[in-house]
Structure 1
Amino acid sequence: MGDSPVGALNFRDLGGLPAGPGRRTRRGVLFRSDTLQALTDDDVALLVDRLGLEVVIDLRIGDEAVQQGRGPLVGRDVTYLNAPLREAEPNDEPPARQALLFSLMHLEAPTSVLGSVIRAAAAFAGRPTVVHCAAGKDRTGLVVALLLALAGVDRAAIVADYLASGPNMDAVKARFATWPRYASHMATVAPELYMAHEPTIPGLFEALDGRYGGVRGWALARGIDEGLLDRFPALLTEPEAT
C-alpha cells in the first residue's frame, strides 16, 4: 500500500510547505483530493487506519454529493461536512480567466458558504482532514489556497501546489468521461477549464490584497473569529527540523 489512495487521482498531503522563516506545514494534518467516491478498501485502510483521517470536507454541491455518493468512507467513523461550492459555469471569458472569476465569485458572493468552509477547516486544524470536490482543482484549490495563506505559507508554494493538480487532470477527465454527470459538465465547458492555469492563484491574492488588505482581512470581514485566526498557523505548521 502506497502513501496515496489509488481510487483518488489528485490526492496529496499538504505538509512540508514553507511557511515563513524556519517553519513548514505539518505532515498528516491537511490533505486535498478529488472525489473520494471510488476509493478501494485498501484506500480506506490507508486513510483511516494509517493516516488517522478524522474529517472530510466535501465541497460538492448538495445534489452532486448525494447523486455521486460519499464512497466507502461512509462506513467508517469519520466526521463528514458537506459545504457546497458551486461548480464553474460556462461563459465567454478565456478559460484561464474563467477559473479566476470562479474564485472571485465565491470570495464576494454573500450566498457562498466559503467563509463557513474556512471557519470549519480552521476549527478542525491539527486533526487529520481532507478537503475535496470532484476534480480537486478549483473548488478545492480555492479553499486550500485560503487556508495555506492564513497559515502563513509562502505564496509561491501555494501557487506551486495549485499547479500540481495540472498533471493529474488527464486521468481525472478520462474518469469523468465515464460518469454521466461529469461527462455532461465537460461537454458544456472549454477543455482548457480543466487545466491548472498559472495566473489563477496570483489573481486571487491580488484581489484579496486590493479589496481586503490580504486574506486575513477577508476572513475577518466574513466574521471568522480573530482568536481562531491567531491559533490556526501554530496548528497547521511546525518548526523546520534542524
Structure 2
Amino acid sequence: MTAAINWLDLDGVVNMRDLGGLPTTDGTTIREGRLLRSDNLQDLSPSAVQHLVEELVLTDVVDLRSHHEVESEGPGPLHAWSRVAHHHLTLLPDMDASSGPVDALLVKRDRARRDDDHWASHYLGYLEHRPESVLAALRVITQASGATVVHCAAGKDRTGTVVGMALAVAGVTESAIVADYAASAQRIDQILARLAPRPTYAGVLKGDPSRQRPKAESMARFFRALHAKYDGPEGWLASHGWSDADRQELRAALRD
C-alpha cells in the first residue's frame, strides 16, 4: 500500500510535497501538514510564502545545503518571517578555502567502500560525514509546533535521505518511503531547468542528465545497507544516541 503523491504546486518551487497520508506498518498514516519536502526555496513568490506561513502554518525550515550554497544563493524570502525558524544543517563535510563550488556539493568517499549504487553510496556518506545534522533535523521535525519543510537544492538526494530516516522512525512502510523518494523523477526536468542556469550548480549538473534522475532502487539499496550494517535506520540512530523516547516523540508528532 502506498499513498498518492500530494504535490504542493506553489510559485517558485517544482518539487514540493506534503508527506501526509503515507501509510505505516501498523495501519495508521502520517498526518497532513506536518512534514513537507522541497527543492530550493530561493524563488518562492510572495503569495507562495504567505500560503506556506499562514495557511499551512509553516514554523520550521531544515536547510540541508552546503555552506557554499547558502553563501552563494543568499537568504530566501522565508527569512523575512520571524515566526519561521531556520535550521542550517549541512550534510556535506566542511571544505577548506581552496575548494571549488563543485567540491562543496559532493560527498567524497573511498571508492573501495562504496555501495554498488552511486546514489545509495552518497546517502550513506551523508550519515557518515554529518550524523549530528541528521539527528538535529529529526529533532526539529519532532519539536516543531507547526509544519516543517526539509529542503536542499533539488529536493531529492539530501532531502530524500533525511526524510527517509524520519519516515522510517515514524513507522512508514519501506515501499512507501521508496515510492515517495522516486516521485521526484516525475519532475526532474523542471528541477534541472531551475538549477542549471545558476553558477552554484552548473558545474555539478554537467554531463548525462539521466544520472540525476532518482530511481527507486537507490533508496532501496540505501535501506538494505542500513539493515546490513546497523540493523536498520533506527539501529543507526541508536548508535548515535537516539533513544526510544526520541522515537516515541517523533512518532507522536508525525502520525495521525
TM-score by length of 1: 0.89
Q: Which residue of 1 aligns with 2:202?
A: 183
**1:12–1:33: 8 Å Cα contact kept in structure 2?**
yes
1:105 aligned onto 2:125: yes
Alignment of 1:67-86 (within 5 A): 67-77=72-82, 78-86=84-92
Distance 1:66 1:109, change over 3 A: closer
Contact kept? 1:36, 1:70, Cα under 8 Å: no
Is the 8 Å Cα contact of residues 56 and 131 (structure 1) preserved in structure 2? yes
Q: Specify whether residues 175 and 44 from structure 1 end up closer, same or farther in structure 2 by C-alpha distance, changes over 3 A only.
A: same
Give how far 1:3 is off. Answer: 4.6
* Equivalent of residue 31 in structure 1, options 5, 17, 36: 36
Amino acid at match of 1:16: G
Match of 1:115 in 2: 135
* Alpha-carbon distance between aligned partners in 2 of 1:214 and 1:61, rounded to the nearest angstrom: 26
Residue 227 of structure 2 is aligned to residue 221 of structure 1:
no
The one-letter amino acid paired with 2:88 is N
CA shift, 1:225, in A, is 3.2
Which one of 154, 166, 169 corresponds to residue 185 of structure 2? 166
Give 1:209 shift.
Answer: 1.0
Task: Tell me which amino acid in the other structure corresponds to 1:121.
Answer: I
Write the deviation string for residues 185-238 of structure 1: whole angstroms up to 9, x where unpaired. 212x54233101121111111111111112111111111233111221122011
Residue 119 of structure 2 aligns with an amino acid whose one-letter code is A
**Alignment pair present for 1:6 and 2:11:** yes
CA distance in 2, matches of 1:25, 1:112: 25
**Kindly, what percent of the aligned residue pairs are identical?**
36
Structure 2: give runs of 5+ residues left out of the alignment.
Answer: 1-6, 93-104
Aligned counterpart, 1:60: 65
Shift in CA distance, 3/214, structure 1 to aligned 2, threshold 3 Å: closer
Letter of the structure 2 residue corresponding to residue 114 of structure 1? V
Query: What is the rounded CA distance, in whole Å, between the counterparts of 1:44 and 1:116 in structure 2?
Result: 24
Please say which of residues 40-49 and 108-117 is displaced more in the overlay: 108-117
What's the CA shift string for 1:73-109, capped at 9, x where partnerless?
1111210000012233599999x82111101112233
Structure 1 consecutive aligned stretches of length 4 or more whose deviation exceeds 3 Å:
87-94, 109-112
2:254 to 225, 236, 241: 236
Aligned-partner Cα distance in 2 for 1:37–1:84: 17
Give the count of matched residue pairs. 235
Q: Does the Cα contact within 8 Å between 2:152 and 2:158 map onto a contact in 1?
A: yes
Cα-Cα RMSD:
2.4
Answer with 193-202 or 152-161: which moved more. 193-202
CA 1:90/1:109 → structure 2, altered by over 3 Å: closer, same or farther? closer
Q: Residue 127 of structure 1 aligns with which residue? A: 146
The 1-side partners of 2:13 and 2:51 are apart by: 12
Q: Deviations over 1:161-193 (max 9, x none)?
A: 001100111011112222111112212x54233
Q: Distance in 2 between matches of 1:199 and 1:193?
A: 13
